[in-house]
Amino acid sequence: MTRLLIIGPPGSGKGTQAVHIARHFKVPAVSTGEIFRTNVSAETPLGQEAAQYLDDGAFVPDHLTNALVRERLRDSDVRPGFLLDGYPRTAPQVMELDNMLASLGHRLDAVVELRAPDSELEQRMIQRAKEQGRKDDTVDVFRRRLELYHRETHEVVSVYAGRGMVVSVDGSGEPGAITERAIAAVEKFLAAGVAP
């Protein structure tokens, strides 16, 4: 019964780490991107509403994101636990997640925060752009995304840090080493029995 949240800047390999960490703890990795795609492809009422924003390249508004995540957290596969990736992104979403989990009789166990110097993240992005031929991965676009991340998620991390739930992990270096550090840090945190 492990319920985790992972937070990390663009270029931190958060999606990759989420999958590996979730596999270790035998829980599903649940990303907002996956929730959006599943609902849009299934043409659920919420998915159809989300598609209008996604098709325009706009952010899906909080009320809709909250509703989609709430539905996902009611699924049977996440009853034993989960690792959330991409939600919550704002302080109001933190409160919304608290309410969702409380209504199910659950709470988060820990928040994994991947940290790496901006310069390293930028180099990773440049390398990825070269390898994958992605035109959208320009330095300017990356810096804007990074600035947005620091501005938005700072308050989310602050809220969870205030509850003593944040497990900071050095996100520098090779992906395998980062995974090992993250798993060890979370296991140590959970074993210590620190409850929010």
pLDDT value at position 136?
A: 62
Burial (Cβ within 10 Å: 0-12, 13-18, ≥19) of residue 81: middle
Residue with tokens 């709430």: 70
Strand positions, DSSP E, the chain: 2-7, 29-31, 81-85, 110-115, 166-170
3-state secondary structure of 159: helix
Joined tokens for residue 141: 């676009």
Q: Give the start-to-end residue ranges of the domains of the chain.
A: 2-191
How far is the C-alpha of 6 from the C-alpha of 141, rounded, in Å? 23
What value, to the nearest 5°, has the Cα angle with vertex 18 and ends 104 and 60?
Answer: 65
Adjacency order of strands within the sheet including 2-7? 29-31, 81-85, 2-7, 110-115, 166-170
Model-level pTM greater than 0.85? yes
Fold adopted by 2-191: Rossmann fold (3.40.50)
Q: pLDDT digit string (tens) for 12-64? A: 889 999 999 999 999 999 998 899 989 999 999 999 999 888 777 777 888 99
Select from 68, 80, 71 the least CA-distant residue to 27: 80
DSSP state of 78: G
Q: What end-to-end distance do the CA atoms of the chain give, in Å? A: 16
- Residue 72 phi/psi, 5° resolution? -65, -40
pLDDT value at position 137?
A: 65
How far is the C-alpha of 31 from the C-alpha of 145, rounded, in Å? 18
Q: pLDDT digit string (tens) for 100-144? A: 999 999 999 999 999 999 999 988 888 887 887 766 668 888 888
Burial annotation 39-60 (CB, 10 A radius, 16+ → b, else e): bbeeeeebbebbbeeeeeeeeb
Instruction: Name the percent of the chain lying above pLDDT 70.
Output: 96
